[in-house]
Structure 1
Amino acid sequence: MSNLTKVWGQVEMLLADGISLIPVRDKQEGDRAPKTPYNLWKQFQTRRVSKDELWHEMEAKNTSAIAIVCGKISGSLEVIDVDVKYKDGIYGTLSSLLQNNFPALFGKLRIHSTPSGGYHILYRIANAPDKFPGNVKLAGRPATEAELVLNPKSKTYNFLETRGEAGYILAPPSLDYGVHQDYNIPLISWDDRCNLINICRSLNEIIDVKQTVKATKSQSDYYSENPFDDYNHRGDISAVLTEYGWKPHNSHSKHYLYFTRPDKDSGVSGSFHAENRIFWSFTSSTTFDEQKGYKPVDVLLKLKFDGDTRKLYRYLVDNGFGMVKHSVEQTITKQAALANKPLPANFSTEAQDDYVLQVSRLKEDHPYGIFIKYDSDEEKYTVSREAIARVAKELGFRYYDGDLVKIDGFTINRVSERFFQDSLKDYIRDEDPDSYEELCNIYEAFMQKNGKYTAQRLQILDESLILTDDKHTCYKFYINGYQTITADEIVFNDYNTFSSLIWSDKIQHRNFNFGKSGRFLEYLKLAVHDLDQASKVLGYLSHEYKDETTGFIIVLTEQCPDPKQGGGSGKNVFCNLLKLTTTYTSKPGSQAKFDEKFFQSWNRQKIFGISDVPKNFDFLFLKEPATGSFIWKKLFKDEVEVDVKDAPKFIVQTNYSYEISDGGLRRRIIPLEFTNFFTLAGGLDVHFGCHFPNEWNEDDYAGFDTFISESIQVWLRGGNKLHATELTDTGWQKQWEQTYGNATGFILDNWDEWIMEGFITNETFKRRIETYFNENNIQKQYWPSSSKLNLAIAAYGEKHGVGYKKDVPKRFENGVFKSRIFFKGEEPDDSPPF
C-alpha cells in the first residue's frame, strides 16, 4: 500500500464534508520545509479541488501530506491554533475556561493534535460576515531574556492564533497530526465564535494598558498611598461594571472573570484578570477601546465619571480610598470647606469638627457656593467659570439680546456690566483680611480679561417666562396689582398667584384706583378736537403689541392755521403722559437724520416720539420701521435687526401738517388734531394751576388709568384697526398748503374771482402766475409746475364743493380759447354760445 493510499480515506472524508484540500510537502525539498504548500495552492482558496485532481497532484508531487484550506471555501471554516511551545500548559488553561463557560459549545468542537503538542480547534461559522476573518493573533507573551539573547528582534511570541481566510492547517494523519476530539466539524453561530475568540484573547499577556489617571505631585505629597493606586489594589471592579449594565458571565476561575456587555443577554464581551487587575473589553460596541486594557480606576473613571478625573478623585476620597498624611489634614480641611466637598472618613475627629464649623460659616456667607476655588493640582486659587455662572444665575443675572438683565422676584431689570461685576464682587467673603484682599485681586484680574465674555456666557433669559401683551390681551401693572384687558372684560388681580416675569419698567409706581374724573379727562376734552379718536389712539399706543398690520404712525397736528402761532396746545404733554402707561422716548425732529443713526437713542421703548418736526419732514422714512423690521445701530455696538414685534410705535408732533405722496403711507398715518385752547390760555399750567403730571392728585391718576384701560378695550374691540378721521377745515387747509406749497397762495388770491367768473383762459392764467410770483419775489425755479397747480386747484375745489376742469375749449367773440372752468353741481356745456 502506497503512502498516498494510507491517507486517502481521510482525504475522501474531508472532501465529502466540503473541505478545500491542498497537497503540502511531507519532507524537506531543497530550501522548502515540510508542511509548506506548492505554488498552485492559492487557487484552492476560491475553488475546491476534485478527488481525481488531488490524487494526480499528490502523486505527481510524491507527497502524502494534505492541508485544509480555511475560510469561506471550506464552508466558512475557522481554526484556533494553540501553540504550547510558547506557553506551557496553555491548552489546559484554555480548555478549562471553555468547559467552565461554554460546556455545550466546547463539547462539540473538533480538535486535532499537532506533533509539537499543540492543538487545532475546528469549527464552521453559520452567519459569518461577507468579509471572512483572516489569520488573527489572539494571545501572546513578551519574550524572555534568554529568548531576546537568541533573537533580539522577536519581542513577543504568540501562542493563540486563528487560521481563517488565506490560511491553512495540516490535516491528520499527515506528518503525525492526530485527532484529539473526534467530532464532525460543528456549525456554530457568529456569537459562539466570538465567545471562543474572546476567551482566547483574555489569555493575552501583551496588553497595552490605557492609564489615564495618575496622582499629581501634590496629591502624592498628601498621601502615603494615593486614592488611585489604592483603588487599583482593592477596588471592586465587578460592582462597578455591574452597576453600568455589564453582567457577570458564568465562570469558575478565580483568576479570570468574564462579563457580558450592556444590551446583550449572553456571551463574553470582556474579562478581568484578578492577578494583574486588568480589564479588557473585546468589543467596539462599548465606551471602551477594544485594543486597550484598563486598570480598575480607569474603568471607574470612564463609566461613572465620563473622564472627569476631578470627580473621580473626589469619589475615591469620599469612599475612603487613599491614606492622607496627618500633616496636611488642616490644609485640606480648609480647601474642602471652600470647595463645599466633604472630607473622607479617614480624617481625624478634630479635622471633621473643624470642617463642619467652616462649612457652616461658608454656607451663611455664600448661599450659592463659591466661584474662587483652590486648585490642589496647581496649588493656587482659580476662578471657576461654571461656578461664577451658577452664582450669577442664582443672583438673578441673565443675558438677553445683547444686554445684561437681573431678575428680582418677578421683575426683570436691565443692568450695566459694571453693576453685574460689582454684584459678584460683593458676594466674595472672607474673615481673614489678607485672604479677602487676595480673592478680590484674583477676581478683578479675571474680570479685567474675561468680564465681557463672562457676561455674554450667562444663561439666556427664557422669553417664554415673560408675560407680554398679545394681539387680543393687554396687561397693565401697578404696585397693588395688575389689569388684564381684553375686548370683553377688564380684570384686576393682585400678585399673590402671579407666576410670570415682567420688565420692571412696566410697573407704574402707584396704586391703581378706579375713577371717572380728574384733570387728565378735562385736559383731553379741551385739547383734542375728536375725543373718540383720541381714545382709540391712546388705546393703540398703550397696547404693547405690534405686528405688520398695526404699524400706524400717529401724527399730532394743530387746528391753528398759522404754524408760527401754534405751540403750547398740549401735544408734548400728551406724549409725555404716555410714560404713565408704557415706555416712551423721543428725539427732536429738527435733529433727525434719515440714516443708520436715526434710532441710536432708542433703547427698546415701546413708543418712539419725534417732536417739533419741520415742515419738510420725510414721513416716508418711517414707513418701513412702522410696518416691518429695521436695522438698529446701538451706540458702541454692532448693528442688529429689530423684528416688527419688538419695534416701537411712532408718534410725531408738528406745528405744521404732513404731506402724503405714498398710498401705503396714507393708510398708516393717523392724525390727531389739537385745538388752540391751551395755546390761547397760555399753557396747561396756567389753566390748571399745576404741573402735569407732577402735581396730580389721586383722583387725577385714577381718571387717567381708568381712561387708558377703557381706551385699550375700545382699541381691541375695534379689531386692532385705526382709521384716519377727516381733518377740520383749518387742519385740512394747513395740510393743503404744506402739500402744494407756493401754489396755494396764488390760488387763494384768485379763487373768489375764478368762482365768480366760472372760468379763466389758459393765457390769462399763465399771465396771472407770472405776475403773482414776480410780485412776491419768488424765483422761477421755485414756481410750482402746471400739474402741481392743477392738483392743488382740484383738491381745494373738492374741499369746497367746486368742480374743476382744465383745458376746456371756450368760444369767445374773437375765437375759441382753452380755459380752466369752475362749477358747482353738474358740469356745464364746454362750448356755450357767444
Structure 2
Amino acid sequence: MSTLSQVWSQVEDLLADGVSLIPVRDKKEGDREAKTPYNLWKQYQSKIITKDELWREMEGRNTTAIAIICGKISGYLEVIDVDVKYKEGVAGTLFTLMEKGFPELFAKLRIHKTPSGGYHLLYRVANPPSAFPGNVKLAGRYATEEELALRPKSKTYNFLETRGEAGYILCPPSMGYGVHADNEIPLISWDDRCNLINICRSLNELIEVKSTVKASKKEFDYYSENPFDDFNNRGDIVELLNAYGWKNHISHSAKYLYFTRPDKDKGVSGSFHSEHRVFWAFTSSTDFDENKGYKPVDVLLKLQFAGDTKKLYRHLVDLGFGTVKPSIEQQVVKHQASAKKALPKNFSVEAHAEYIRVSEQLKEDHPYDVFIKYDVDEEKYTVSREALTYVSKMLGFRYFDGDLVKIDGFTIKHVDERYYQDEMKAYIHEEDADEYEHLCNIYENFIQKNGKFTIQRLAKLDESLVLTDDKDICFKFYQNGYLTITADDISFNDYDDFPYLIWEHKIQPRNYKKAEGGKFLEYLRLAVNDFEQASKVMGYLSHEYKDETTGFIIVLTEQCPDPKQGGGSGKNVFCNLLKLTTTYTSKPGAQAKFDEKFFQSWDRQKIFGISDVPKNFDFLFLKEPATGSFIWKKLFKDEVEVDVKDAPKFIVQTNYSYESSDGGLKRRIIPLEFTNFFTLAGGLDVHFGCHFPNGWTEDDYAGFDTFIANSIQKWMQGGNKLHAGELTDTGWLKQWEQTYGNATPFILEYWDEWVINGYVTNDAFKSNMESHFNENNIQKHFWPSSTKLNAAIIAYSEKNGMHFKKDVPKRIAHKLTKCRVFFKDGHETVQDEETLPF
C-alpha cells in the first residue's frame, strides 16, 4: 500500500483544481467499512479543506484515501457513477453512445476508473440551476431470480447514478482508483450536462411505461394481435416523431435512438429503445410527461389524436396494423362484402382474396344488393327499408291502383302479397344453413310488422310505358308477336327490341297466323240474325278502349218468342269466346243487387257480362257506368272511383228482352239477336261434334284471330260507333212486351177490333180494359197507367204501319164522343157515324 507521501502530489493537484476533498477510510475500522468518510466530512460541504488540514487529518487517521465532495463547493461538480458490477458491459455501451453522440464533449471529460471496473465521469456545470441537483439514480435494472433469493428486499439494482450536491466520490490515488482519461475537470453547459444525463437515462430498464391504450375484450376476441400491440411491435416511431418535429439526427445505435425536441436544434430530449419499444421523454417541455416511458401507440395517440382512442384505432386499422383471427375474418368478409364495404386493411391477403370471391358470388346471388344489412359495429342485422324498396323495384315489383304488380321482361302481371313476400324471401341466399335461417327470421319478423306499408311504398307503375289501345289503334298480343290494327292497316310484328310493357294476361297462349274461315265463323253465321252487326259488336268489345262516347250496352237476345223455350242458342259461347281476345268476367243477372256491391266480382276485366238476366232486370243501373265513372267497392278494400277509360264494356244475356222507354238508355243499348238454330240442333257440341273452343284446330284459332282483327278494323272504320239494328218481328214483340208489361196482352186482345173499326170510344176502351184485367185477375193497382197504355199503343201502331191519336172528338148517335182512332197514311180524317151509308 502506498504511503501518504507517495500519493500527496496527486492530492495537491486535486486541491489545486478547486475541489473539496475529505479523507475516507482505506480499510475497515471496527464496524465501519472502507471507503466511508469520517464524520468531519459534512463541514467540508460548505468550505474547502486546506492543504495543511487535509494532511493532518489523513496522517492522523493513517489513511491514504480521499473523496471529492460534489456540488457547489467544488465548483458545481457533478459525477456520473458507472457501476459495472450491476450491469456488465454498460460502460462500453455508455461511452460509445456519448462518444458518437457528443464526441467533442466526451473527449473533454475527466474519467476515473474504480477498483471494481466501474467509472466516474467528472465535469463542472457552467450555468447551473439555483438548486443544484443532488445524487440522482439514472439507470437500473430489476433483480434476477438468483439475486432475489439472496436479497429478497432488493428488487432493483442501479448501475448509473450521479453524485451531486451533498454527494461524494472516492478518487485516485485512493485504494486502486485510477485515471482513465486524464483531463482537467471540464466546465460544460447545463444543456451539455443534460445531454449526458439523458443518454444515461436511456439505458434505464426501470422505466415507468405510461400506457393509456388497452385493447378491449372485444378486440382480444377479434385479434390474435390487436392493432395497438402490432403498432407497438413494428410501428415506425422515427417517422412518427419526425413528422411532429422531433429530430433524430444524433441516433447512432440500432438499439438506442435519440431525439431532439421540436423547439431545439440539438441535444437529447428523448430516446427510443428499439428492443423494449419504449419512448422516453427527458424533459417536461413537451406533450410528454418527463421521465415516463411511452409505447409507440401512446406516442401516436398523444401526438396525432389528442387522446381519442377510437380515431387511433381506425387509423391503425387503415394502416394495416393488427392480425385478425381467421375465424373472424371469415365472418367479416361475408358481412363487408354484403354491405359493399371494403375490408379493413389489416385483413390478410387470403381474406382479401376471399372477399373478392364472396363479392362476386353475392353479385351473382344478389344482383341488386342485399336488403338485410349487417352492422359490424353493432354486430347485428337489420332490414334496410331503402334497400328493400330498391331490390323490389329491380325485381319488377310495382304499386298500381292499390294492387301489387310485377314486371317480368316486357310483361306485367297482377300478384298478391304472399307472392311478393315469397319472392323477396327467395332473394335471400346464404350458404350457411344457420345463417340463412337467421336471415329468414329477421325478414319474416320485419314483413309481419311492416308488410302492408312496405308494399304501399313500392315504386308506382309508370303507365306511360304500358302499351294500350287508344281510339284509333288497337293491339293484340300473341306468343310470336303482336298485331297493330288501325282503320287503314293491320300489321304483325315480333317482339324484338320491344320498347313497351304489356299486361301478361293480354298475351294469348298461341301463335298468330292469318287465315280465313273456321268453326267460329260458321257458328256466328248460324247463331246470329245479323252477321255484319255481330262483327261490329265483336270489334267494339275486342277493342280495349273506352270513353264517354263508346259506352254501349250489348244485349244478347233471342228470336224465340217465348223466353221459356229459349236457351242453347249460343249466347254464352259468344261471351266466353271473348276471353280469347280480351279479358271477360260475368255474374248471374238473377243475383245482381243494384248497389255498391254490384261490381265486387269485377277485377279490371275489359268486359263485364251479366248472364241470364230476368225479365225485370234494371237496365237503367248500367246507364251511368256505361258512359262515365263509377264507385268500385272491392271486397275488404276501400272504395275507389273508376274512370271511364278503365271501366268495362257491358254485355247482357237474356232470354227476354229489354225496356226501351228511357231515351238515353235506348241509344246505348245495342241488341244482337240469336237464332234458334242451335236450340233446335241441341247445342253447339251436337252440331260441331266438340265443345268451343276445346275442339278447335290451329286453323280454327287462326280464323278466329283474323276475324277479330277485321272486326276491330270495321269498328274503327265505322267511326267507333254502333247503331242498333232492326229487331226481327219476334224480337221486337218481346222487347215491346217487356217494355210495356201487362199493357200488351190487353192491346193484342182488342187490336184487330180497333183497327177494323178505325176507332174505339174512350168509354168502350175503358170498359174493354176493365173487362180484360178483371177476367185475368189483375188487381187494379197493377193496371197500367193511361200514359203507359197510350205509349204501348203508339209503339205497336208504328210497328204495324198505323197511326194512332187519342181523344179525337167523333159524333156517334147524334152525340159528340171522344175516341182513340187508328188510321194509315192518307186516311187521317174519319167520318162521323151519321154520314155512313149503312
Q: 1:603 to 1:589 in 2, by over 3 A?
A: same
* Equivalent residue, structure 2, for 1:352: 352
Q: How many angstroms apart in 2 are the aligned matches of 1:739 and 1:632?
A: 30
Q: State the distance in 2 between where 1:765 and 1:323 align.
A: 116
Equivalent residue for 1:516?
Answer: 516
- Equivalent position SS for 2:475: strand
Aligned residue type for 1:525: R
Partner residue in 2 for 1:259 = none
Query: Residue 497 of structure 2 aligns with which residue?
Result: 497
* Distance change in 2, residues 1:799/1:435 (3 Å): same
Query: What 5-or-longer segments of structure 2 have no aligned partner?
Result: 1-215, 230-239, 241-285, 288-303, 306-310
Q: Is the 8 A contact 1:552 1:650 kept in 2?
A: yes
Counterpart in 1 of 2:731? 731
Give how far 1:419 is off. Answer: 1.0
Alignment of 1:76-475 (within 5 A): 224=227, 320=318, 326-327=324-325, 329-475=329-475
Match of 1:766 in 2: 766
Q: Residue type matched to 1:467 in 2?
A: L
Q: Deviations over 1:743-769 (max 9, x none)?
A: 110111111111111111111111111
CA contact 2:317–2:346 (8 Å) conserved in 1: no
Contact 1:368–1:391 (CA under 8 A) maintained in structure 2: yes
User: Is the CA contact (8 Å cut-off) linking 1:671 and 1:724 kept in structure 2?
Assistant: yes
What is residue 557 of structure 1 aligned with on the other side?
557
Q: Deviation at 1:364?
A: 3.0
1:586 aligns with 2:623: no
Q: Greater CA deviation, 367-376 or 759-768? A: 367-376
Corresponding residue of 2:543? 543
Instruction: Tell me the distance in 2 between the aligned counterparts of 1:647 and 1:219.
Output: 66
Q: Give 3-state SS (helix, strand or coil) of 2:594's partner.
A: coil
Separation of aligned partners in 2, 1:542 and 1:642: 20
Deviation at 1:624, TM superposition (A): 1.2
CA deviation map 1:330-380 (0-9, x unaligned): 543232122232224443213212322322332333222222221123221
1:763-812 per-residue CA deviation (whole Å, 9 max, x = no partner) reads 11111111111111111111111121111111111110111111112112
Counterpart of 2:595 in structure 1 is 595
Secondary structure of 1:469's match? coil
Query: Is the Cα–Cα contact under 8 Å of residues 808 and 830 in structure 1 kept in the other structure?
Result: no
Q: Secondary structure at the match of 2:811?
A: strand
Residue 593 and residue 833 in structure 1: after superposition, are their counterparts in 2 closer, same or farther (change >3 A)? closer
**2:323–2:346 Cα contact (<8 Å) kept:** no
What residue identity is the alignment partner of 1:428?
I
* 8 A contact 1:218–1:377 mirrored in 2: no
Aligned residues: 540
Residue equivalent to 1:645: 645
Q: Is the contact made by 1:317 and 1:344 (CA closer than 8 Å) also made in structure 2?
A: no
Who is 2:525 aligned against? Answer: 525
For residue 637 of structure 1, report the CA deviation from its aligned partner. Answer: 0.8
Q: Which amino acid aligns with 1:660?
A: S
The answer to whether structure 1 residue 703 and structure 2 residue 694 are counterparts is no
Distance 1:326 1:764 in 2: 115
**Corresponding residue of 2:487:** 487
Distance 1:611 1:395 in 2: 40
Tell me how far apart the structure 2 counterparts of residues 674 and 319 of structure 1 sit (CA, whole Å).
86
Instruction: Work out the CA distance in 1 between the residues paired with 2:347 and 2:476.
Output: 60
Cα distance in 2 for partners of 1:603, 1:219 equals 60
Is the Cα contact below 8 Å between 1:219 and 1:377 reproduced in 2?
no
Work out the CA distance in 1 between the residues paired with 2:812 and 2:515: 72
3-state secondary structure, aligned to 1:760: strand
- The answer (yes or no) to whether the contact 2:518–2:699 under 8 Å persists in 1 is yes
Question: Is 1:788–2:788 an aligned residue pair?
Answer: yes
Q: Deviations over 1:375-415 (max 9, x none)?
A: 12322111111222222222222211111111111111111
Aligned partners of 1:585 and 1:605 also within 8 Å: yes
Q: CA shift at 1:416, angstroms?
A: 1.2
Offset from partner CA, 1:484-530 (integer Å, 9 cap, x none): 00011000011112121100100010111211111100111111111
Give per-residue Cα distances to partners, 1:216-249, cap 9 Å, x unaligned: 99899978589xxxxxxx9xxxxxxxxxxxxxxx
User: Secondary structure at 2:406's aligned position in 1?
Assistant: strand
**SS of the residue 2:707 aligns to:** helix
Task: Output one character per residue of 1:622-641: Cα deviation in whole Å (capped at 9) or x when no partner.
Answer: 11111111111111111111
Partner AA of 1:326 in structure 2: V
Q: Which residue of 2 aligns with 1:692?
A: 692
Contact 2:515 2:702 survives alignment (8 Å): yes
Q: Secondary structure at the match of 2:449?
A: helix
CA distance 1:780–1:503, shift in 2 (3 Å):
same
Cα offset, 1:321, TM superposition: 6.4
Q: Distance in 2 between matches of 1:644 and 1:518?
A: 35
Q: Distance in 2 between matches of 1:401 and 1:318?
A: 54
1:618 aligned partner: 618
Higher alpha-carbon Rg: 2
Answer yes or no: is the 8 Å Cα contact 2:527–2:677 preserved in 1: yes
Distance 2:357 2:676 in 1: 76
Alignment CA distance shift 1:827-1:502 (3 Å): same
For structure 1, the 5+ residue unaligned runs are: 1-215, 227-233, 235-274, 277-295, 298-312
Alignment partners' CA distance in 2, 1:474 and 1:220: 71
1:746–1:772 CA contact under 8 A, matched in 2? yes
Distance across 1 between alignment mates of 2:730 and 2:393: 59
| Whole-angstrom CA distance in 2 between matches of 1:666 and 1:682 | 33
- Over residues 100-124 of structure 1, what are the superposed CA-to-partner deviations in whole Å (9 max), with x where a residue is unaligned? xxxxxxxxxxxxxxxxxxxxxxxxx
Superposition deviation, residue 727 in structure 1 = 1.2
- Structure 1: which amino acid aligns with 2:581? T
1 CA distance for matches of 2:499 and 2:376?
A: 43
Q: Is the 8 A contact 2:323 2:347 kept in 1?
A: no
Structure 2 CA distance for aligned equivalents of residues 396 and 798 of structure 1: 62
TM-score by length of 2: 0.61
Letter paired with 2:641: E
- TM-score by length of structure 1 reads 0.62
**Paired residues of 1:589 and 1:611 also in contact (CA < 8 A):** yes
Which residue is 1:656 aligned to? Answer: 656
Aligned equivalents of 1:479, 1:319: Cα separation in 2: 58
Q: C-alpha distance in 2, partners of 1:431/1:423? A: 18
CA shift in 2, pair 1:322/1:384, >3 Å: farther
Q: Determine the C-alpha separation between the residues in 2 that align with 1:564 and 1:469.
A: 40
Determine helix, strand or coil for the equivalent of 1:806.
strand
Q: Following the alignment from structure 1 to structure 2, what is the Cα–Cα distance between the partners of residues 545 and 324? A: 70
Q: Is the contact made by 2:474 and 2:484 (CA closer than 8 Å) also made in structure 1?
A: yes
Q: Distance in 1 between matches of 2:505 and 2:429?
A: 32
For 2:568 and 2:689, the matched residues in 1 are separated by: 15
The 2-side partners of 1:321 and 1:366 are apart by 31
Quote the sequence identity (%): 71
Matched residues in 1 for 2:356 and 2:833: separation?
Answer: 119
Deviations 1:805-833 (A, max 9, x none): 11112112242221111111224435535
**SS where residue 525 of structure 1 aligns?**
helix
Are 2:412 and 2:501, in contact at CA under 8 Å, matched by a contact in 1? yes
Task: Report if aligned partners of 2:475, 2:485 keep a CA contact under 8 Å in 1.
Answer: yes
Partner of 1:151: none
